[in-house]
Chain A
Amino acid sequence: MDCHLDIFFLEALLNGLLLAGLLALLALGLNLVFGVIDVVWICYAELVMVGMYGVHYAYKGGLPFIVAAALGIVLVAVAAGLLHVLVIRPVLETAPINQLLVTGGVLFFLQAAATMAFGVEFKNIGISLGSLNVLDMSFSRARILSFVVALVGMLALWLFLTRTYMGTAIRAIAQDRQIMPLMGVDSRRIYLVTSAIGGGLAGLAAGLMVLNYDIYPQIGLQFGPLIFMICVLGGLGSMIGGFVAAFVISQFIAVGSSCFHTEWGYAVAFLFFMIAIFFRPQGLFGAKS
């Protein structure tokens, strides 16, 4: 073990903090959809992967990055809307396992489709923002940008959910589905809008991730389990819980990586997760069932 309270340790902590913004953004979309529609999108990380390819090719095709990133948001929002209408809505009234299985099927479909369309090689978007050096510490500018944009995205969602009729209905429907028609609300429309917003958040995350990571068809497997773990640790469906859990988990990863070895970061985070969930099965912010 090689753990000292030195500047490198501080650097690791701060990098963990920066990573947490992106993880929190990723967890938010999944939690929103689960909290409102009661469906877990097993293929969530693959939606992000689709968005990453979309941003990559839009940028390589000559569009300015900011436009490509905006297109990525729209692309994944539309994909998520289609996912809801074509795949989830038909089985919405059936046993929950069916919804898990159909979105699991979409996961394999998207991976296979991406492999055939884009090949297995790693693709880099080729934008380097360089790094910011403070004292002896070095931080990737792409990570700092991701952190800030993720926070802004989350703030925008919060304003939408608390300040608009549609947002209020999205919060209400999770509390009482049956009486929504009495409010003049068409639940099917709320579910569709929620799916599109969940997809839009995944698309926003995709635009940030291409700045930080290479793209390949299986990239979802690298961070998907982490996102699910964060959501469950925070309390599945709890947006605040997911936010807090993202910061907790990313610190475990950062400290684990700094003290042991990079690979161990994830293992330490999962170990903590298992212990925490043993004592609080409903998650940090989850309601007791």
Chain B
Amino acid sequence: MLELSNVNAGYGAFQALFGLSMRVEAGEAVAVIGANGAGKTTLLRVISGLVPARGGEMTMEGRDLRLTPAHRIVEAGIAHVPESRRLFPRLSVEDNLRMGAFVPAARAKFAERLEYVYALFPRLKERRQQLAGTMSGGEQQMCAIGRALMSGPKLVLLDEPSMGLAPVIVAQVFDLVKRIRSEGYTVLIVEQNVAQVLKVADRAYLLEVGRIKASGRAGDLAASDEIRKAYMGL
């Protein structure tokens, strides 16, 4: 479904990703793990066009993403739940969801998808008129995921959905990830919560200072001594 080969990217003179190659197949949940500053967020930004790829190839179902302007990537079937959620704090929950359905194809299905998202997250329905910025962290994460689903994506990019949440809520967030997985969405998830994310993912990539250091089945990576020591504190 999504394929990257030899992608470079950076900010100004600084290079953050070096010759990165990876793929995500339809129906999979793929995790990207790595330390702070490894380039995980940059990778997702490159995929959704917020940061331009400087070399290499990047396709979504055969469509060349490098030739697609950032605001057209949504129409390729990719929705990005950004790091720290980035809701519109002074818009209501429902207006945030409306923004997720901004593209014309999604507008036509707004009512149907709104009902779907509210069924998935009944809490959002109760809070529909509340300003998004006044909700709890866990509720905001639901809203951010709901907003992404409003565009009717095939692939959902999740950037550290558990960040800044209490342990109980973190468990709930991983349940959410499992839920959207079972709803048939393909998921590419970035996490520092390595032990937990490897339980929900099929495969994973380990990113170190902008390069892929290891990749494989999530279970295998979770069993590797190196990863257990460096990323799971075991």
On A, residues with C-beta under 8 Å from B are 165, 168-169, 171-172, 175-176, 178-187
Contacts and interface: CB of A to CB of B under 8 A. Distances in A.
Nearest to B50: A181
Contacts of B147: 183
B128 to A, nearest CB: 14
A179 B106 CA distance: 18
Given A181-B48, A182-B50, A182-B80, A169 B102 contact: yes
Contacts of A182: 48, 50, 70, 74, 79-80, 82
19 contacts: A165-B98, A165-B101, A165-B107, A168-B98, A169-B102, A171-B88, A171-B95, A172-B91, A179-B50, A181-B49, A182-B79, A183-B74, A184-B71, A184-B74, A184-B102, A184-B103, A184-B151, A186-B71, A187-B71
B100 A175 contact: no
A169 B101 CA distance: 11
B72 interface: yes
Interface in B47-104: 48-50, 69-75, 79-80, 82, 86, 88-91, 95, 98-103
Contacts of B99: 168-169, 172, 183, 185
A182 B101 CA distance: 11
A178 B41 CA distance: 14
A175 B88 CA distance: 6
A188 to B, nearest CB: 9
The 7 closest A-B pairs by CB, nearest first: A181-B70, A184-B74, A184-B103, A181-B71, A186-B71, A175-B88, A172-B88
Contacts of A178: 50
A121 to B, nearest CB: 48
A95 B90 CA distance: 27
Contacts of A187: 71
A31 to B, nearest CB: 15
A213 to B, nearest CB: 37
- The majority secondary structure among interface residues of chain A is helix
Interface of B: 48-50, 69-75, 79-80, 82, 86, 88-91, 95, 98-103, 106-107, 147, 151
A181 B50 CA distance: 7
B75 A184 contact: yes
Contacts of A185: 71, 99, 102
A171 B91 CA distance: 8
Nearest to B89: A175
Nearest to B157: A182
A183 B107 contact: no
Contacts of B102: 165, 169, 183-185
A161 to B, nearest CB: 10
Contact of A180 (B71, B73, B98): B71
A118 to B, nearest CB: 42
A192 to B, nearest CB: 14
A277 B74 CA distance: 44
A276 to B, nearest CB: 24
Contacts of A180: 71
B78 to A, nearest CB: 9
Contacts of B86: 176, 179
A184 B99 CA distance: 9
Contacts of B89: 175
A184 B88 CA distance: 15
B82 A184 contact: no
Contact of A175 (B75, B90, B106): B90
A179 B147 CA distance: 12
A181 B73 contact: yes
A162 B75 CA distance: 25
Residue of B72, B95, B106 with highest tally of chain A CB at under 10 A: B95
Nearest to A188: B71
Which of B70, B102, B103, B151: most chain A Cβ within 10 A?
B102
A186 B90 CA distance: 21
Nearest to B147: A183
A182 B86 CA distance: 11
A250 B206 CA distance: 64
A183 B91 CA distance: 14
B75 to A, nearest CB: 7
A172 B147 CA distance: 13
A259 B150 CA distance: 59
A169 B99 CA distance: 7
B192 to A, nearest CB: 21
Given A165-B98, A165-B102, A165-B107, A184 B91 contact: no
